[in-house]
Amino acid sequence: MKITTWNINGIRAAFGKNAFDWLNDFKPDILCLQEIKAKEDQIDGELFTQMGYQSIWNPAERPGYSGTGTLYTAEPLEIQKGLGVERFDNEGRTTHLSYPDFELFNIYFPNGGEENLRVPFKLDFYEQLLINCEQLMAEGKGIIITGDFNTAHKEIDLKNPKANEKNTGFLPEERVWIDHYLNKGFYDIFRVLNPDKVVYTWWTYRFNARKNNVGWRLDYFLATKGILDKTKDVITHMDVMGSDHCPVTLVLDF
């Protein structure tokens, strides 16, 4: 099974760039998209239907902002939108699919915003998601959290850590929340498999950052032990264009 995550940074723009053509060859079983920036009636899903996908879309109430969508080939047992908290859910940041072997959370974590003003909101979101996941873990569920975490966990996860110590995405109070997840039984699967590998998944559009590989690793798979034990690989598709992020795929053996 292949599960791919990708912050598409505007799905309508991505269609215009033919950004999804690579799916014809790679064919993930599940594709988790973040920052779709569109309402459901603005998304021409015929391309995905032709590829054999069904879809669930969770747009933000605010037009042209945030939002998530999950494409899948196998029908889930249950689909949920949101975390059950209105101030988070009106931004369309969560889709949750339940399968026999795992619970899959597709998440677009908040950005800390200009002058870090939304950092408290971001940290509250991290906390609420963990509360929800702990309830599922108590029921013995395997969990996969994927998406754009909007946080680089360690210095290895961005090109210029010292220059970004006071910037959202690398603030100590943001980074520690990934530690909280790891301390509660989650694993950063890419980093478990590649403890010393430098790989980025986001590059600013400015300064030829992608060409020069001046980036951040913001797109993760955090999963519980049972999922880790079934993991074969994590693939970072740095050659796939169409967004300021690249896709990342978790390969599982179920």
Beta strands across the sheet bearing 54-58: 54-58, 68-72, 30-34, 2-7, 248-252, 231-236
Pairing of strands 30-34, 103-108: unpaired
Pairing of strands 219-223, 187-188: antiparallel
| C-alpha separations of 181 from 83, 137, 143, 144 in Å | 17, 12, 12, 12
Nearest-angstrom CA–CA distance, 167 and 2:
33
Nearest Cα neighbor of 104 from 126, 133, 61 is 133
Nearest-angstrom CA–CA distance, 232 and 202:
24
**Partners of residue 79 on adjacent β-strands:** 97
Nearest-angstrom CA–CA distance, 96 and 78:
8
Q: Is 41 assigned a catalytic role?
A: no
**Partners of residue 55 on adjacent β-strands:** 71
Question: Does residue 129 contact residue 107 with C-beta atoms inside 8 Å?
Answer: yes
Catalytic residue among 21, 44, 89, 148: 148
* CB-based contacts of 141, cutoff 8 Å, min separation 6: 102, 103, 224
* Chain position carrying tokens 């980025």: 200
Among all residues, which ones are annotated catalytic? 148
